[in-house]
A and B are shown apart, each in its own frame.
Chain A
Amino acid sequence: MRSYEVIFILDPALGDDGVDAGIAAASGVVTKEGGEVAESQKWGKKRLAYEIKKRREGHYVFLRLRAPVKALTELERHLNIAESVLKFLTVLVPAPRRKPVKAKASASTPKESGTHGLTVGAQGEALGSRRTGAEAQEA
């Protein structure tokens, strides 16, 4: 299972029902393949930065998924086929990086070559701990 973010743009001509149907279809594909939709947001009708299929607007839909790779390929296939989808983007959310502790240990012990190396190590450590803090908040 991996985390993904999916955004797709639906035809602006669709009403609210059409948008909901589009979301339901997409999440149906995901759940069928063993994934789950953690979050779905409707961003509403937004102006596109450039023309897509002769449309200047589109309904933006954002999904956050926990899904196996197979579910994602299936979802992409579905979004490619669905005519109401103007464009979509799937992004793999990087897995939380672990091991800031290890980095800290290796940085602090062998470096005696000068203060410069030490300061770099300290910065890396600070960054690492900040990152884990934010993840804890998210979770």
Chain B
Amino acid sequence: MLKKRRTYRRQKVCKFCLDKVLLVDFKDVKRLRNFVSDRGKIIPRRISGNCARHQRQLTVAIKRARSIALLSFAAELT
């Protein structure tokens, strides 16, 4: 049973580590968009597979981007 589950899992790798990002930049909206759901929520580490350090930087970056209207706080009401 355990073995079977293991075959389903795929190793997730931090995308920032792959690109050797030293500091996640709040101005890099294109990249930040990948880590935000379509409702505007930050995607958890559990799902995105980011490492702890980069996830910490990412949350700060996203919050900064939100505060200058580069990213939205929430999906718009229609």
Encoded as 1 (CB less than 8 Å from any B CB) or 0, chain A from 73 to 97 comes to 0000000000000011101001000
- The secondary structure that dominates the A interface is strand
27 interchain pairs, CB-CB under 8 A: A5-B27, A7-B27, A7-B68, A9-B69, A49-B66, A49-B69, A49-B70, A49-B71, A49-B72, A49-B73, A50-B69, A50-B72, A50-B73, A50-B76, A52-B69, A58-B69, A62-B27, A87-B67, A87-B68, A87-B69, A88-B68, A89-B64, A89-B68, A94-B23, A130-B22, A131-B22, A134-B22
CA distance A131 to B53 in the complex (A): 14
Residues of A within 8 A of B (CB): 5, 7, 9, 48-50, 52, 58, 62, 87-89, 91, 94, 130-131, 134
Instruction: Note all chain A residues with C-beta closer than 8 A to B22.
Output: 130-131, 134
The B interface, classified by DSSP as helix, strand, loop or mixed, is: loop
Residue numbers of B with Cβ under 8 A of A are: 20, 22-23, 26-27, 64, 66-73, 76
Does the CB pair B64–A91 fall under 8 Å?
yes
